[in-house]
Amino acid sequence: MLYRDFATQEELDAQYNLNMIFPDAASLYEAFCERESENVRQELDHSLDVPFGPTLAEHLDLYPAGEKAPVLIYVHGGFWALRTSREFGFVARGPVSAGAATVVTNYALCPRVTVDEIVRQTRAAVAWVYRNAASFGGDPGRIHVAGHSAGGHLVAMLLATDWEGEYGLPADIVKGATVISGLFDLTPFPYTFLQPKLQLTWDQVLKNSPILHIPDSAPPQLVVYGEDETDEFKRQSEEFFEAWRARGLEGERLVLPGKNHYDVIDGFLDAGSPLCSAVLGQMGLE
């Protein structure tokens, strides 16, 4: 076996290769993201491409929500190799309408950089938001994080960060987290269609699999996935949630009926949707 009960790359790809599973969905999703994000930018104040680090990809998009607003940092997905922050501006609509400033982070993509570097950049974005929250009306004492797919992985890695020791920041800089259809065990990916892009070494797999780095203390976490996802995506969330709870950490699991890997994040467009209500509730914005 290559991994668990999977004997071949084809079997693993059938679980993770979304282009193969939903042949038309990727382009429809891309068009949806671009259209809705453009619409949201017509509606909301925003600042695009704000640099948070020295490299060209280290920038983020800000969607303010007034003074002293709690902040939701959103980390986009795309198997660490696709997409930019610009395509996910739409996630700001629901949170901003409820009073949460929203920050969508960008990061360099594989194979130009490694997953290690993407994790570092995402941590740097959070550190920047903490130090600069006042510049866009955000409250640095109320930072929450959310991410989808590979972004869910990156959010889980944020929770496994030594903020005090490595960044000189409060250990509890993140007050709450939502991981949506995340990838928490990277072990299968060297055997999949992704490997030419990710170029994962075993050292990187071990270092960057959040399920192997559940912290001793952490903020409440919401683990979300769609009912119509593949079994492997479901398993990734279920096992991570179980490991999280087994460590005695606070968390809830939410399975959204009728949602697949793509449309599971649509709810961010509406503050009253189940997804957005749950995230806002965690932020104290019910």
Partner 1 sequence: MLLGIKYEAARIGDVSDEALAGIEEQMKEEVGEDWESDDQVLRGRNAVRREHGLPGLGEPGDRPSPATSVRRPLWRRLLGR
Residues of this chain that interact with partner 1 (CB under 8 A) are 222, 227, 252-258, 267, 272-274, 277-278, 281-282, 286
Taking the least distance from each CB to partner 1, the nearer of 39 and 273 is 273
Do residues 250 and 199 make contact, with C-beta atoms less than 8 angstroms apart?
Answer: no
Taking the least distance from each CB to partner 1, the nearer of 162 and 227 is 227
Taking the least distance from each CB to partner 1, the nearer of 111 and 272 is 272
Taking the least distance from each CB to partner 1, the nearer of 64 and 70 is 70
Dist. CA 170–CA 165, nearest whole Å: 9
Residues 6 or more apart whose Cβ sits within 8 Å of residue 235: none
Residues 6 or more apart whose Cβ sits within 8 Å of residue 178: 144, 145, 146, 147, 155, 221, 222, 224, 278, 279, 282
Taking the least distance from each CB to partner 1, the nearer of 165 and 248 is 248
Do residues 226 and 149 make contact, with C-beta atoms less than 8 angstroms apart?
Answer: no
Dist. CA 178–CA 16, nearest whole Å: 21
**Eight-state DSSP code of residue 248:** T
Give the neighbor-by-neighbor strand order of the sheet with 138-148. 47-51, 59-63, 101-105, 69-75, 138-148, 174-180, 221-226, 251-256
Do residues 198 and 115 make contact, with C-beta atoms less than 8 angstroms apart?
Answer: yes
> Phi/psi class of residue 254: alpha, beta or left (left: φ > 0; alpha: ψ in -120 to 50)?
beta
Q: Measured from the CB of residue 253, what is the shortest distance to partner 1 in angstroms? A: 8
Residue with tokens 């990916």: 189
Taking the least distance from each CB to partner 1, the nearer of 196 and 281 is 281
Q: Measured from the CB of residue 32, what is the shortest distance to partner 1 in angstroms? A: 17
Q: Measured from the CB of residue 90, what is the shortest distance to partner 1 in angstroms? A: 17
Peptide bond into 111 cis (omega under 30): yes
Taking the least distance from each CB to partner 1, the nearer of 162 and 250 is 250
Say whether 260 sits in a helix, a strand or coil: coil
Dist. CA 17–CA 32, nearest whole Å: 20
Q: Measured from the CB of residue 97, what is the shortest distance to partner 1 in angstroms? A: 14
Q: Measured from the CB of residue 264, what is the shortest distance to partner 1 in angstroms? A: 12
Taking the least distance from each CB to partner 1, the nearer of 168 and 258 is 258
Q: Measured from the CB of residue 6, what is the shortest distance to partner 1 in angstroms? A: 24
